[in-house]
């Protein structure tokens, strides 16, 4: 009986520790607005995008693959109907040219979104309150797949039919004598 009681207490303590760890990890996720760490220093810039995909607050901002800051806020501009992203850039990266571009990129095929910075060549640099002029929106996986299917469908519509080897030509019209455009002949 005593062994059963200590087993129940041990199991209960293990479950409580697991729940506490889960709660802590949940607050550390980038998509969570909760952070147990203090806010970091740096300067803030904004950029307007047509589409940010599933970019989240806390997502990294990178330059040449190096993390230089993070996304601090995403809101909609009601006049331009664009997503305005506020980014905090770490203070040691204070010489990024102000004609640099930013784009919403994907980590891997199905990974999370982040902001990638492409450096410009200007002699002036971003400072607190700067607005990025050159942006590239997120490319959705759905739009890529739709373009791929549309490409295959358009190629399928122009396939030759079985009327003497020429699509859309009447026999004896001479239209079948010109080589088809865009098609390569097979080597002989």
User: 64-97 pLDDT, tens per residue?
Assistant: 999 999 999 999 999 999 999 999 999 999 999 9
Please give the biggest Cα pair distance in the chain.
Answer: 101
Q: What pLDDT sits at residue 174?
A: 46
User: How many other CB atoms are found less than 10 A from the CB of residue 36?
Assistant: 7
Q: What is the mean pLDDT of residues 13-30?
A: 80
Q: Are 70 and 88 in contact (CB under 8 A)?
A: yes
What separation, in Å, do the N-terminal and C-terminal C-alpha atoms of the chain show? 88
Instruction: Report the candidate in 41, 42, 108, 30 with the shortest Cα–Cα distance to residue 74.
Output: 30
pTM here is 0.58
């Amino acid at each position: 009986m005593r062994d059963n009681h200590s087993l129940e207490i041990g199991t209960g303590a293990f479950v409580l520790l697991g729940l506490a760890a889960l709660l802590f990890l949940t607050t550390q996720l980038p998509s969570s607005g909760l952070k147990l760490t203090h806010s970091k220093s740096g300067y803030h810039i904004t950029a307007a995008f047509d589409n940010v995909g599933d970019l989240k607050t806390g997502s990294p901002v990178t330059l040449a693959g190096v993390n230089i800051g993070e996304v601090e806020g995403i809101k909609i501009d009601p006049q331009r109907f664009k997503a305005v992203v506020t980014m905090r850039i770490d203070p040691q990266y204070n010489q990024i040219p102000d004609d640099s571009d930013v784009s919403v990129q994907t980590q891997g095929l199905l990974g999370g979104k982040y902001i990638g910075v492409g450096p410009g060549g200007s002699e002036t640099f971003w400072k607190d309150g700067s607005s990025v002029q050159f942006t590239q929106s997120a490319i959705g996986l759905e739009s890529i797949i739709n373009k791929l299917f549309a490409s295959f469908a358009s190629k399928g519509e122009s396939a030759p039919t079985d009327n003497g080897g020429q699509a859309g030509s009447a026999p004896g019209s001479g239209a079948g004598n010109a080589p088809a455009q865009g098609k390569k002949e097979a080597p002989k």
